[in-house]
Structure 1
């Protein structure tokens, strides 16, 4: 075997070993066996190189999709006899097996975080490999369900929050960059608010956060709101809540609807805390 061929052969073996574990996971009976196979599969995936990860996604597309002939036959039976049973059969055969594979991978400790990371890598590859769009759609479908806002916890971020969380707020601010700790401290003063969504499986990682200025009147510009040298407003009856920044911290959740739900929940929280607020706006 040539020197150039050796690495390719090695990563092909790694992919095949990983796929064998995935097939065992899909065929496993019992929660205990399933969780053990899922944990093994996640460890194997973490060791794959980027080319090997791409090959895995290609296998998901080609080998873990619905069988067209079975879908067509089930669709024809449903069209001829549209009963609940024929509809359930059609639904079952139309669902790609890769969705069940991802559900079972999610049973392992850290599975949710790893699947979010998988989708982040898949999204990065998608522009050069558009044939993987169906695989991406299945990831998005499942994550949209698992990260339903009803499962999420909203927390206020303030200066007393853990340093690791504050560092993530600085790192992930995507609209108006935070210029160090002094800038962050100003954004967390009593006339400012910051709220974030968290998921029970990623308790230390914010998914998305929004920053709000509490004001006595509608702002004319954004600059005064993010001026770190500005003095905090004296306690007053705030009348306006200006949402001036919202940032997604998890690229693997792109396209999963979280922002609107966070803003609505924050508005309800602020109205309860400050009944004098009658106007909510975005900048």
Structure 2
């Protein structure tokens, strides 16, 4: 209630704000009957007004969307009562119309203007930042997410291969947005676009050459167990014609305003289909993925935990002796501690993937129908890899004929994993 009262106060203040009130009036006109005759002009006015709005006023703007542009409670209650008493198609239609907030129509009409889609994504970035301290804004965000999910349906998107002949502007965006394994410059990027490598991205017709999400793939002989060989510079790259395995080693989202819109799973499946057509000799599709939540989980797991106590304590003791991680510390880790680390990571990925501290990358691939295939020691010796997972990386296997079954298993709280991973689930004494 306190949060709602705060939003109502902000809305009331906004109505008297000479900076904000003109923007709100443009929003009211845009969704009015008069607004329908002049959608483009009014939508552009809203876009210009929001663009010029100081950051300090944006909380009040979204507060107004949450209150003034919300469904009318009395109308919703009346329609719900009618439907409960007589659940006819007509009463359902009336209820559906009553429940939909006016701000949904506002968002739709903003989207019709040139630059409207990009502006809505920028607005949602602001909204996501403000929502953390204002749970009452969740309803506004739900409307944004509902509409963006429809408009960014993969059926509407364009899949393109990014190569060295792509525009310099697009290549710069790939460098900038790479979120898993940093691209250090043009020569680094060029290696990732050589004949035995692939990069594919999704694009939306309203956003031009702005990538939404992209994936990088290595075409190699066998499942990779370390990332360095996949991205290290080579004077001459091998041909992809003899490759038997496609390793998806990086996937990066480029549009923070699309958080919660599922694109990565469709991208991987679409790229797998395209690669299979181009290179029919490919037999294995897998990932080489980070475990960004592993060290955080270790830090929060009690040192005494049943049969895992000894392993947890040995790993904790090793970490205390090596507070500043360096690649040589990881590679010289004693074999028993290596085994403890692999077993604990297997336990984390198999037993914790449905829990709050579960690894987000694991959840993504497992929910996408992949199998937890192998855990690799000293696979990522970058600062980021050592900080997040003590150098471990994971292979998730995409058996195209089994993805639906494995997805359903994950929905049913089961993590599909290989025999090799299963052997790791028994800790050392």
What is the TM-score when the length of structure 1 is the normalising length?
Answer: 0.94
From the CA coordinates, give the structure whose radius of gyration is larger: 2
The alpha-carbon distance between structure 1 residues 256 and 165, as it changes in their structure 2 partners (threshold 3 A), is same
Q: CA deviation at 1:28?
A: 3.8
Q: Does 1:185 align with 2:190?
A: yes
The alpha-carbon distance between structure 1 residues 203 and 9, as it changes in their structure 2 partners (threshold 3 A), is closer
Q: CA deviation at 1:10?
A: 11
Determine which of 106, 113, 121 is the counterpart of 1:108: 113
Determine which of 123, 129, 136 is the counterpart of 1:124: 129
State the SS of the aligned residue for 1:124. Answer: helix
**Whole-angstrom distance in 2 between the partners of 1:171 and 1:11:** 41
Determine which of 29, 45, 70 is the counterpart of 2:75: 70
- Higher deviation after alignment, 149-158 or 67-76: 67-76
> What residue in structure 2 maps to residue 137 of structure 1?
142
Alignment gaps of 5+ in structure 1: 1-7
> What residue in structure 1 maps to residue 335 of structure 2?
none
Q: Does 1:49 align with 2:38?
A: no
Q: Is the 8 A contact 1:12 1:52 kept in 2?
A: no
Counterpart mapping for 1:193-204 below 5 A: 193-204=198-209
**Whole-angstrom distance in 1 between the partners of 2:227 and 2:235:** 13
Q: CA deviation at 1:76?
A: 1.1
Q: CA deviation at 1:124?
A: 1.4
Determine which of 80, 104, 114 is the counterpart of 2:85: 80
Q: Is the 8 A contact 1:11 1:48 kept in 2?
A: no
**Whole-angstrom distance in 2 between the partners of 1:35 and 1:9:** 25
Deviations 1:153-193 (A, max 9, x none): 00000001000000000000000000101100000000000
Alignment gaps of 5+ in structure 2: 1-12, 289-429
The alpha-carbon distance between structure 1 residues 232 and 11, as it changes in their structure 2 partners (threshold 3 A), is farther
> What residue in structure 2 maps to residue 172 of structure 1?
177
Determine which of 21, 26, 32 is the counterpart of 1:16: 21
**Whole-angstrom distance in 2 between the partners of 1:24 and 1:235:** 57
Determine which of 158, 176, 180 is the counterpart of 2:163: 158
Q: CA deviation at 1:234?
A: 4.0
> What residue in structure 2 maps to residue 244 of structure 1?
249
Of structures 1 and 2, the one scoring higher in RCO (CA 8 A, sep 6+) is 1
Q: CA deviation at 1:235?
A: 4.9
CA RMSD of aligned residues (A): 1.7
State the SS of the aligned residue for 2:19. Answer: helix
Q: Is the 8 A contact 2:14 2:64 kept in 1?
A: no
| Matched positions, count | 276
Q: Is the 8 A contact 1:211 1:243 kept in 2?
A: yes
Q: Does 1:215 align with 2:220?
A: yes
Q: Is the 8 A contact 1:140 1:255 kept in 2?
A: yes
> What residue in structure 2 maps to residue 33 of structure 1?
38
